[in-house]
Structure formats: structure tokens, C-alpha cells
Structure 1
Amino acid sequence: MAELSPPLPAAPLVHLPPNIVLQPPLSRRGHGPGIIIFVPASYAKFQKQNDTLDPEPLQKWAEEGYAVVRISFDKNEGAASKAVTERFNKAIDALLALPECELAIGAKEYEHLNIVGVREVKKDKVGIIIYGSRADYAPDFDDGLWDMTADQWALIGGIVVYDNWDLDTKNIVLYQLSKNIPEVEYPKETHHLSQVYTYPGTSSAGFIFPGHPDFKISSAGVAHTRALAFLKKYLGGPYFDLEKIWEEHTFFEFGDRSVERTMATMVQEPYVNHVPTMTGGIGRGQLTNFYRDHFIFSNPADTELELISRTVGVDRIIDEFIISLTHDREIDWLLPGIPPTNKPIRIPFTSVVNIRGDRLCHEHISWDQATVLVQLGLMPEYLPFPYALPGGKLPGPGKRFEYRVPAAGAETAAKLRDERAVESNSVLGFGVESAVREVDDS
């Protein structure tokens, strides 16, 4: 009987006219602080053009563990200034009424704002993210936003923007700007706390938005991590135990050997990339098939992982570790198509694991494939060198050059564990004279 897959976190969207959508958290924890994101109405078409695994901001921030309200504004919308204030108040009301939102506001202190559903919980701030450029909004949009009352601004813990907005606020701001946006001037009250990052390889504020013509996935990934660190700091979370999340995932992979439970630790559309062999999977369906058919049940019974070092960031873990195993079967993901040699191998690995909220988003796994082949006796000590040597020297008639392959075996793992186990720089003594030889071309 097939194992039932644990369900993914689910919470239905709530539509609050006009142009307001509420998304409860999509983390396994199921509750978290509130954020309000402003998105130009014109950006709706970009999500339909999105062919990456990077979801639209509403879903992405909900997967990070936030209760999210998205407010859309039309560029030609009349009386935008008034609409900003009205929709902001509706967004706050919606967050306060949501049981999954950790937002506490004293009823007496803010009763004049006509905020409903006040509860006594943990947090007392919301975050704001403004996507798009100033040109994507109505001309008086910023007037409404920055002219809100002091009590309204008191609800905001931090602001993330992607254009050089002329902010007249005492709130802490994170500016994430493309290379074409002029240098920003900090608000006087918060210049020592506000932050500015510029992304040289980008061409507009759309670099962060998946599906936008100027979307740049590498810059968008870095910008998202910075925005996440910023909001966690000023909203008080949400914080997750990333090490436990990663160790849970690896237990289901190597210990429990359960495809379903392994996939349940991951976001809706994850991916895995084993860099040297380019094996893995992109998206839930493909990755599930890969885990089932080529990874979880392909690993030898004696497979062991030895952790050497670990770095934990705001949304990712970087591990150095050694995998030890016996090549007693075809290991698709590591040595695709190579029959078992029954030789033991020890391989230094590096993994960069991105975690979104309390679920894995993607894994980049790297190792030196040459050391694997050396240990299995599948890498010759010398290989053909089809070039002239320095000075233009060519091999003689009936001869060819060979070079000594600069790769080592199990000693690479030994040196990762203990830097003194193997002498450093032994390969540097080769030189052209000893690293290249002339042999019969037969």
C-alpha cells in the first residue's frame, strides 16, 4: 500500500474589495506577524508570464510564515491619496481579525482608528513592502501613504521599497534599488538605521518581481534574503529552527527513507540541483519522481554523513560534510550509469540549503567528481594534453603529450576533516616538466 503524503499547508485567500487580498500564513506553523504589500495593478500580468519556481510575492511571503495583505493600485486611479489611507485601514482590520496573525494593538490606544477584532497576542507591528517604481503608481499615491497619521505610522515596524521614494517618515526603511535609480537620501530621523542596497546587474524596480521583463533571479534571491532579515528584525520574527528543519529533511531522506515525508518538508514548488552531475528535480512532481526513482532508494545501506562545519543564516544553511559509502550498486544521482565497483569511497560535500519559512525551498549540492572517480579507479593518472607547451613546443613524430591529472582520492576527505592529515601544496611541485610527459602515440 502506497504511503500517504502529508498535506501541504493550505489557507484560502480572502478577497476584500476593492483590490485587497488576504493570505494567511502558508508555513507548517500556521501563524506569524502581518505584512502589507503594495503592488501596481499592472503587475498582475507578469505573474501569468512567470515561468520560474519563484512564486508571486503574496504566496512567497505567506510561505515565509507571514499573514499577508496585498493591496493593488491602478496607475490611473483617481483620488489615490485617499484610497491609500482607506485601504491601509482595511488591511489592518483584516490582519487584526485573522486568528493566525500575531498582531497586538491596544483597543483604547487605537480605537479612534476604528480597528476591529483587537486581540491580546505577541506582536505589535506590521511591515510594508512597496513593489514597483513610482512611475507604476498614480501621481498622488505617495501623498496618501506618507501623509498617514502618526498613530497609523506607529503600527509599522519597517518598510521595504524598490524605488527612491521621497519618504517623510520616522520609520526604518530598506531601499533595494536597481542600477538606474539615483542615490537615495535617508530620512533625517532614521538615517543611521535605514539601509540601501544597489543591484548593478538590474535595470528597473521590476528585478524583484517574477514574470517581469526585468526580473533577475539571482539579484531577486539576494534582495529577498535581505528584506527577510530586515523584516524579521523589526517585526520580531517569525523565527524558525533552521537546523531542526534541515535535519528533519535529511532524516526522512537517509534514515526513514520516505519520499512522502521528505517532500512534506518542502515548499509547494521546490528544487534540488546536484551541481557536478546536474541531477535533481525542478518542481514538486519532477523532484518527487527523482527522490523515488533515483535518490532515496539508490543510496547504499552503509551511507553515512559526517558534519564538518555548519553556517546558519536568516534563510539558509551551508554545510561542509563527508559522505562515506560503498559503491555496491548503481547510484544514479552520484555516478549515473556506472555499474557497482564495490569499492568504499569518502567524498567531501558542500550543501547550500534555502529554507522558506519552516520548509525547504531548494538545495545546491556540490562535490569534486574527480575524487570520486580516483577512488573508484576510474580516473587515469595521466590523460592526453592536445596543446602545444609554453614556447610552442609540440610532441615529436609519433608522440603525444599527456598531463598528470590534478586530482586526489580519499585524502581530500581526510584533509577536510583534519587540515594536518595531508601535506598542503604537494601538487604545486609538479611543474610542466613533471606534470606533462611525452609518450608514444599508440
Structure 2
Amino acid sequence: MYVDISKPPPPLPTPQLTEIAPGLSLLQPLSRRGYGPGLIIVVPDSEISNLTIKDGVPSPLIKWAEESYTVVEIQEKALASKDVLKTAAEWVQKSDKCEPREGVGLIVYNGRLWNKLAPSLPSVPQVLGVVIYTDSTELESLSPSPIPCLQHVAGKVTDSAKQQSDHVTVYEYPNSASSAFALPFQPDFSYNTEAVSHTRNLTFLKRQVNGPYFDLERIWEEHTYFEFENRSVEYTMSTMVQEPYVNHITTMTGGIGRENLTDFYRHHFIFKNPASELELVSRTVGIDRIVDEFIFKFKHDSEVDWLIPGIPPTNKKLEIPMTAIVNIRGDRLYHEHISWDQGTVLVQLGLMPEYLPFPYQLPDGRTPAEGKRFEIRVPSAGVEAAAKMRDRNAVGSNKMFEFGIREV
């Protein structure tokens, strides 16, 4: 891959909202591709703008446009019109950014709103699949769906309610107070629970409306190319959504939001990394994320503050087993969660003692003799950990079972 970084990357798209009627609006895809299938979302009325991104969390309208859907949002106040669903479907499909046009998906963020909308569904054959967020207390009164349906249920679901038909799939969220767990900027919103439901939605919707589909591996490899080879902050950020984040969990380094992440890449990552090699061990590709096992190899001849902050160069060669969980929204990265065992890093640097004090009474009641102390052998390996990730037979298993307490 070659990119002329002397020229700036294309700018991120600016959301262009089309007001169709009060409570009814259209947003074109916010992906680099710029087109995608049709999707209708139905949400409660809110005083917060439907183009809001707050603390890195986008509104449902923004999020689905970033996933590369052509989205019409119906707010509750617009449901007074009996033809609102038909109008929404027509606006989606006549958009020049809607492709393919064979069908439209539907997401209803509240069981009460679904019951208002359900009677009009048979007159809108363009809708091929529906996602419904609801509460367990609403299940008995929930209108049945005549088309493939995915239900996200907040609260405990009875065994009988869990019985799924050929075209209805039910997911239970027993720790959620209400279906509003999926609605940002609400008291019951749960970032992690909503994210789980979002991945399930993508798995369901992409089958119903034929996409959008992207080469997630190519997107991830493009991003790492700009990070490690091309070393361009601007082009690296151009591969990410409006408000992305990176979390190096082990050292709690990275950045949340475009401004903070850009600063992190510029001052702590892209130009601070030594010459290195990423040895891929395994890769799992899901509907919206990639999980990589890899070995990060380099010589510690400069300070690498995101990885081992505060430690001057030791000139040691390191091989660090790592795991990266990369979430991709549409055709841009949303976030990276990267983890590794800092113990194996410190062992390889020669900075981890073989034994450490154990200042506790033993299970059998023993305490150290006067003037002595207990020590434990540190259960952490060095480069052997990387070798065992690479080849399960490179190092014998269970050797640390022999570790124990000594008195010194």
C-alpha cells in the first residue's frame, strides 16, 4: 500500500439531516463508502438533538449512519400519522444513497412504540426484518410480528417467553432496568449492554437487508499501516469514526474522543514506537470486530511510554504476547481494546524479582520465624510466554504448579 501523505486525507463527512416532517428525518450514510441499505429507527421523543455525540457516545441516528445505513428516524410524536411508516420507507428507498434497495430494516426502541406501529406493518412490504427493544413486563402485551423479528428484553424472561418461533429470536438482559438501556443520554442507558445488543442487531439486520458488508481485515490492516509503517497521524485518524477511542488496558493509556486520541497518537504512539514487528498468531473476524492474538517484537532502545511508562531504554529485546479487540463501525474503526501481561514484559527487561515478600499468614496458621519472612516465587514467565503463544509445544505446561512459598 502506498499513500502520498503530503496530501491531506479526505475529511470526515458532515451529517446532513433532511427534515421530512415534524419528528421525521433522514440521514445519509456517514461511512467512507457513502451508501448503504435502508433502515428505519423509531425512538421516544427527546429534547436532545438527534445528531448529538456526547462523551464519545453517538445518538442512534448517528450510530446507524456510521454503520453505513441510509436512516430515517421516526420520533414518537410522528406516530400520530397512520402512514408514517410507509412514508419513512418511501423516503429511504428513493434516496440516491440507498443501496441495495431490495428491502428496509426496522428498529423500534420501545415496546409501547412497537404496539403503536405494528398494525401498519402489513401495508409496508419493504420492511423485511424488525428489532424490538422491550421490557419483560411488556412481553405479554407485545404485538406479534409477521416478519423476522429480534427482541431485546430488559429484565428476567420466563421460560415460556423464551420459546422462540422460526422467525422470532429473543435475547434477555436480566440486569437492565428497562429497554432504555439502548438509548444514550437516558438514566437507564448501559454502554456495554447496548454494545452487545448492537452487535446482535448487525448480525440480524445484515441478513435481512443484504448488508452493508465490508472487508474488516482490510480496514484494520490499513489502520495499522498508517500507524506503524506510514506513520501519519492524520491518515491514521482518517480510518476512524468521528469520536473513536483506544484503550491500552494494561497501562490505561490511549485516548477517548478525536481530540484526545489525536494528541495521544501524535505525542505518545506513532512517533514514539521503535522499529518493531507484529507477528500474527490468530485472527477472528466477527460481524463488527476483529480479535487478534499477536506477538509484538522490538528492541527497547527508546522509551515506549504507552507500553512501559517511566522505564528508560534497557536495550533488551522483547517479545510480548498481546490481544487486540478492534470494533469497526461501517468502514471505520470505532475502538481498540488492547491487553498484555505486564509481568512478562518486566521479566524480559530484568526488572521483575524472582521472589517477592508474602506478608500474610499461611492457610495452616504458620507465620515466619522471628527475623525471617515468607517469599513467593513470582508466577510470571518471560519470553517463554511468547513462545507458548506461537507454539503450544514450545514450553511444557503447568511448570508453575511447582512454585511455592519459601522462608528466608
* Pair 1:224-2:198 in alignment: yes
How far off is 1:86 after superposition?
Answer: 2.2
How far off is 1:98 after superposition?
Answer: 1.2
* Pair 1:335-2:313 in alignment: no
For residues 298 and 168 of structure 1, do their structure 2 counterparts lie closer, same or farther at Cα, with a shift above 3 Å needed? Answer: same
Whole-Å separation in 2 of the counterparts to 1:399 and 1:179: 55
CA contact (8 A) 2:93 2:101 kept: no
Paired position in structure 2 for 1:125 = 103
Deviations 1:135-173 (A, max 9, x none): xx5xxx735x22226441x21110000123633442111
**Partner of residue 72 from structure 1, selected from 47, 72, 75:** 75
AA aligned opposite 2:66:
E
Deviations 1:296-315 (A, max 9, x none): 111112x0000000000000
* Pair 1:86-2:79 in alignment: no
Q: Determine what percentage of the aligned residue pairs are the same residue.
A: 52
Whole-Å separation in 2 of the counterparts to 1:34 and 1:414: 48
How far off is 1:87 after superposition?
Answer: 1.7
Once the two structures are superposed, the pairs formed by residues 289-308 of structure 1 within 5 Å of their partners are: 289-301=263-275, 303-308=276-281
Whole-Å separation in 1 of the counterparts to 2:266 and 2:188: 36
CA contact (8 A) 1:351 1:364 kept: yes
AA aligned opposite 1:176:
H
AA aligned opposite 1:132:
N
* Pair 1:61-2:37 in alignment: no
CA contact (8 A) 2:177 2:188 kept: yes
Paired position in structure 1 for 2:96 = 99
AA aligned opposite 2:129:
G
Paired position in structure 2 for 1:105 = none
The secondary structure found in structure 1 opposite 2:83 is helix
AA aligned opposite 2:151:
Y
Paired position in structure 2 for 1:363 = 336
The secondary structure found in structure 1 opposite 2:90 is helix
* Pair 1:242-2:216 in alignment: yes
CA contact (8 A) 2:51 2:61 kept: no
* Pair 1:157-2:157 in alignment: no
Paired position in structure 1 for 2:235 = 261
How far off is 1:6 after superposition?
Answer: 3.3
AA aligned opposite 1:200:
P
AA aligned opposite 2:131:
V
**Residues matched between the structures, number:** 399
Once the two structures are superposed, the pairs formed by residues 3-402 of structure 1 within 5 Å of their partners are: 4-41=8-45, 43-45=46-48, 51-74=54-77, 80=79, 83=81, 85-102=82-99, 122-134=100-112, 137=113, 142-143=115-116, 145-148=117-120, 150-152=122-124, 154-163=125-134, 164=139, 166-179=142-155, 191-301=165-275, 303-402=276-375
Whole-Å separation in 2 of the counterparts to 1:132 and 1:316: 27
Please tell me whether Structure 1 or Structure 2 has the larger radius of gyration of its CA atoms: 1
TM-score by length of 1: 0.85
The secondary structure found in structure 1 opposite 2:320 is strand
The secondary structure found in structure 2 opposite 1:162 is strand
Paired position in structure 2 for 1:118 = none
Whole-Å separation in 1 of the counterparts to 2:145 and 2:362: 66
Whole-Å separation in 2 of the counterparts to 1:392 and 1:323: 44
Whole-Å separation in 2 of the counterparts to 1:290 and 1:149: 48
How far off is 1:123 after superposition?
Answer: 3.0
CA contact (8 A) 1:123 1:236 kept: no
The secondary structure found in structure 2 opposite 1:337 is coil
CA contact (8 A) 1:174 1:194 kept: yes
Paired position in structure 2 for 1:404 = 377
How far off is 1:400 after superposition?
Answer: 1.4
Whole-Å separation in 1 of the counterparts to 2:298 and 2:7: 27
The secondary structure found in structure 2 opposite 1:388 is coil
Q: Tell me, which stretches of 5 or more residues in structure 1 are unaligned? A: 103-121
How far off is 1:47 after superposition?
Answer: 7.1
The secondary structure found in structure 1 opposite 2:294 is strand
TM-score by length of 2: 0.92
For residues 62 and 51 of structure 1, do their structure 2 counterparts lie closer, same or farther at Cα, with a shift above 3 Å needed? Answer: closer
How far off is 1:388 after superposition?
Answer: 1.1
How far off is 1:94 after superposition?
Answer: 1.6
For residues 169 and 202 of structure 1, do their structure 2 counterparts lie closer, same or farther at Cα, with a shift above 3 Å needed? Answer: closer
Deviations 1:252-301 (A, max 9, x none): 11110111111100010000010110000000000000011001111112
Q: Does 204-213 or 391-400 show the bigger shift? A: 391-400
Q: Tell me, which stretches of 5 or more residues in structure 2 are unaligned? A: none
**Partner of residue 436 from structure 1, selected from 395, 405, 408:** 405
CA contact (8 A) 2:51 2:59 kept: no
How far off is 1:89 after superposition?
Answer: 2.5
How far off is 1:9 after superposition?
Answer: 2.6
CA contact (8 A) 2:288 2:329 kept: yes
Task: Compute the RMSD of aligned alpha carbons.
Answer: 2.3
CA contact (8 A) 2:156 2:173 kept: no
Whole-Å separation in 2 of the counterparts to 1:51 and 1:217: 12
Q: Does 18-27 or 125-134 show the bigger shift? A: 125-134
The secondary structure found in structure 2 opposite 1:148 is helix
